[in-house]
Each structure stands twice: as structure tokens, then as C-alpha cells.
Amino acid sequence: MASIFRPTTPVSHIVSEATPSKKAAAALQAISLESPIKPMKKPTPFIDDARRSLSPDSETDKGERGELDPKKRFVGDIDLPESQEPLLMESKRRFVLFPIQYHEIWQMYKKAEASFWTAEEMDLSKDLHDWNNRLNDKERHFISHVLAFFAASDGIVNENLVERFSNEVQAAEARCFYGFQIMMENIHSETYSLLIDTYIKDPAEREYLFDAVETIPCVKKKADWALTWISDRHSTFAERLVAFAAVEGIFFSGSFASIFWLKKRGLMPGLTFSNELISRDEGMHTDFACLLFSHLKRRPHPDTVNKIITQAVAIEQEFLTDALPVSLIGMNAELMCQYIEFVADRLLVALGCSKHYNSTNPFDFMDMISLQGKTNFFEKRVSDYSKAGVKATTTPSTVAAPSNERAFQEVKSKRRDGEDGAAAANNGGPVADRLTHHLPLLRSAAQPLTTHLLTDELNAIDLTIKNT
């Protein structure tokens, strides 16, 4: 009888013993085919309706916070949760621009796009001579501190745009504007930093000015007010929209006016030219805030708007009449206070509220801002510059860049001819004919600009042609 094989090792051990092929199979099973990238957690809503129902930090004493009566806090559709506000509602359509839903907002973006410029366009060659030889110590102190505020403030505006507004606003058209505004604020900040770097040669003083939000108390106070609104998780988008309209429309207004005062005196051409460009941009940003405000279904009560604006006015008046008095450059402090109130009234009206101060504009030279750079218009590009053709896709009347350039050269030639009577007599006919041909193009090009500069120039040219 054949012998029976009896293994010395238990069968269970034989089965469990791993062969090379089994090891390989086990290793394959252990491989995870999932993506190594951790799955994103479902984002929490950026707009918390429950939190926004409480009083904002700016209107709350420490240790006190309560739910405000919607009828006293809002107007419009007061029962609409902020998360259901059309401009703020999350939608996948925000990834696609066309078809345009908010045409006015899109036009504001195209207007901003057409006004693009860079810091490299500033000519500061004459400024250093004025800084060293035509300004006194008080004037240099004033200008350097104003520039220090501006250099920091543009970064604060961008902080708000990046951290809050760009996250909250879902309308693609508005996001386009905010994206472009962020870039322009960077250019503003670069320009102010370049001005400080050019004028201030002492490294220690430069560092002091660049750190203005910490080293200069009057600048810190303005910065803290704006930063409080950025960090406020209880305020609504609309309330912060008003607050930053005040930052760009009121906090900047007095300082802009003080630099225009220097322009009136024929000082610092590079500084004053950059001031024209930046003040135009900031005016556009303020207008955009007012436009978005008008699109909101639920808006802050006029009393709330009034409170935010008057807070900003008080801070700006203190800044320019006490902490950094405009008397340092020969301006009247009382008139500056009046001018700030005038600007605030204009902003209140743009936000759909009544005037609070009923102040008039005390500075005649500020009425001339609409004619910025008029005398130099044909000698260099001025602050009313607009990229020709940028808005052609939505504004058919806008002409292309080559036509504008040729027409501008004709006008420039005409002005030069006019300075020499004999030349004008010999060449007036042909030039006048060409000007007559190009005037419609020039008038069309003037349409998108924010001031009346081109219109005034063209009316004067029209009159010249008729008299030729």
C-alpha cells in the first residue's frame, strides 16, 4: 500500500504562506487609485446671513452687539437675505462673460480699461529742481506725508478688493472691474512709492514714510478706519461699499486738492500730472461703487449711509486742518473743510441720499479739473488720455487709433500754424479742410472721456476754422 504524504507543517500555515506571486497581488491591491490631492471641503458660504443681521463693528460699542431692526437698518427689499442679493448670488455663470447681463457695469469696466496708464509714463525730471529750490521745508513736509498716506492707502483698498469684494460679488461684469481696479491700484501705489523714492534721499526718512500706517499717527487713524471695515464680519456688503466709496471719494479728496493747489502755482509738474491721472481713476472707482449700490435690492438706510460719510468727513477734516494742516502750503484750512463737505454732499447724492452739509465748492481751481492739462494737450499725453478703440466693440461710434492719431497731428499742426501768422495765411486753407474732415472723428473720440477737455478744444478749433 502506497505511503500517505503527511506534511509536517499545518495546512493552514501552508495556505497562508505568501508566495512571490501572492505578494505581488497583495501589493497591487494595496495601491490606492485615488488622487493624491486631498478633496476640497465644501466651502462655507462667504455671506453669513445670521451674522450679517447683527450690528456692524463700526456702529457697536465694545461688549455690545444686538440685532438691529431691519426697518431702521435697510431700505428697499428689507426682508431679502444678503445671500439672495442678485449681484452676490453664487452662480456658475460668473465664469463666463457673455451674454452681458449688467450693461452699465460692463461699460464702466470698458471705460476703466480705456484709461490705462503706467508709472513709467511719469516725467519727474523737473520735479527734483522744484523740490530742492522752489519748495520750503513746510511744503516738503506736507507733500511727503501726503504721499506716504497715498502709498499705503492704495494697498488698503486692494486688501479690501482681494479679501472681501472680489469674493462676495458674483456678477462677472463687476468682477472684471474689480480685477482691473486691483491692477490700477498697484500702479498708483508704485507711482507714489516712486515719487517718495525720487524726492526723499535720506534712507531713514524714506523708511519712515513707507511705514506711515505705523509711524505717522494721522495716517494710521485713516488707515485704521478703513481696515476696521475690511475685518468687520457683521457689516453687509452694501455698508462696506459705502465705506470704501468714502475712502476713495472723501479720504483722497482733500489731498488731491492740495496737490492741484501746487499745480496752480506751477510747481512739481510730474507730481501734479500723476495726481491728475490718479484722481481721475479714483473718481471712476467711486462712481463704480455708487453704480453697484444702485443695483442692490436691499440697501442701507439713509441714516446709516449718512453716518458712514460724516465719520469719514470728520477724519479727513482733522487730517488736513490739524494733524497735517494745509496751511503748510498756504491753503486756507476753513475752505479745505468746506471743500471736503462739498465732496461729501456730492457723494451722498450719488448714493441716493439728501445733502448733509449743503456746502459749495470754495476752490475755483478745482472747477478747472475738467480742463486738466489743456495747454499741454497737443504737446504730451494728458490725464484725459483714453485708449482709442478699446470700447469699439460696445460703442460703435468710437474710432480706431490710427484715425485719431492722424487727426490729433493735424490739430497740432494747425496750432503751430496759428502761432505764425504768415504760415497760417499760406497753409490755413488746406489745414482747415483737413480739420473739417477730422473734427467728427475727434468729437467721437471725446465721447468716452470723463472730462470736457476735448469738447472745449474742439469747439475752439471749430471756431478757428470758421474764421480762417
Please identify every residue annotated as catalytic: 192
Element (H, E) at 300: strand 298-300
Question: Taking the CB of residue 55, how many other CB atoms lie within 10 A of it?
Answer: 16
Q: Which three cell numbers stand for residue 88?
A: 452676490
Cα-to-chain-centroid distance, residue 92: 26
Question: Taking the CB of residue 10, how many other CB atoms lie within 10 A of it?
Answer: 9
Rounded to whole angstroms, the Cα distance separating 339 from 253 reads: 9
CA distances from 449 to 245, 281, 312 (A): 21, 12, 29
Q: Which three cell numbers stand for residue 376?
A: 499741454
In sequence order, the 6+-apart residues with CB closer than 8 A to the CB of 369 are 260, 276, 279, 451
Rounded to whole angstroms, the Cα distance separating 73 from 156 reads: 27
Q: Which amino acid is located at 350 in the chain?
A: A
Element (H, E) at 455: helix 453-467
Element (H, E) at 139: helix 137-160
CB-facing half-sphere around the CA of 123: CA atoms within 13 A: 5
Residue 280 contacts residue 383 (beta carbons within 8 Å): yes
- Does residue 74 sit in helix, strand or coil? strand
Rounded to whole angstroms, the Cα distance separating 35 from 217 reads: 52
